[in-house]
Structure 1
């Protein structure tokens, strides 16, 4: 009887560890990787837009700009050869097309490394393996065969 109570307490501690520590870590790592994917997509879009401007020789353009809350205003860009790029922390730097493409190339490499690190964290031994280890411990305590 005491052994059953002890076993149930151990199982409960394992389950709490999985639910309160390991699963939130996994969810957080996935969310952080998704943020990096979003940044990567933004830079890829910017790169394509710059290349389109360059290839088509477009030096001025008219566009609709979102002012916020889905309120738009028509804008005219008299010289597209110099653009402002968000470099992080709320700072923007004026670049020529070639400077912007160089910056994007460096940033893409950094983002790719970050994505790889998060992917390793998610898929690797670190989080999922700990969850599997705890689940195996629970099975062992409950004397259930592994599937």
Structure 2
């Protein structure tokens, strides 16, 4: 049987895991997933620009999503420049070369963010494991 002090410690450790560490872990994983989604957007954009360059596409007919899955056909008479969302609702007109350079820099930054979140996730998981090990020792449960 466990004394009251040990029971209180176990309860505090469990609360710390449930109310602090697990929500922090869920948040870190969600943020990393957002960065993964941004990486995909920029990767797709890079591939599309490279395809335009490689095929020397000067004009283009495409479908544009107006929202709510409503599309309209659009004619783009000159594809030599492209507007890129740089964040916070701002768009900048770039040449293909400028856009590819911006994307390269952005992809490097996103890769760095993924690495930071991955380290944070590993750290939180290690803290959870450490606290669970402490609970196991307090409860005197064999390994």
Tell me the TM-score normalised to structure 1 length. 0.92
What is the CA deviation profile of residues 104-132 of structure 1, one whole-angstrom value per residue up to 9, with x for unaligned ones? 11111111111111111112xx2112111
The yes-or-no answer on 1:130 pairing with 2:102 is no
Give the whole-Å Cα distance in 2 for the aligned partners of 1:136 and 1:71.
54
Residue 71 (str. 1) matches residue 73 (str. 2) = no
Report how many residues are paired.
143
Question: Displacement, 1:61?
Answer: 0.9
Distance 2:74 2:43 in 1: 23
**Which residues of structure 2 form unaligned runs of 5+?**
none
2:138 to 121, 137, 141: 141
What residue in structure 2 maps to residue 108 of structure 1?
107
Q: How does 1:74-89 map to 2 (within 5 A)?
A: 74-89=73-88
For 2:6 and 2:75, how far apart are their aligned partners in 1? Answer: 71
Runs (5+) with no aligned partner, structure 1: none
**Distance of 1:9 and 1:145 partners within structure 2:** 20
Give the aligned CA root-mean-square deviation in angstroms.
1.2
Deviation at 1:6, TM superposition (A): 2.7
- Paired with 2:110 and 2:117, the residues of 1 have a C-alpha distance of 11
Partner of 2:10: 11
What SS does the corresponding residue of 1:79 show, helix, strand or coil? coil
- Secondary structure at 1:59 match in 2: coil
1:13: Cα distance to partner?
1.1
Please, what TM-score do these two structures have when normalized by structure 2? 0.95
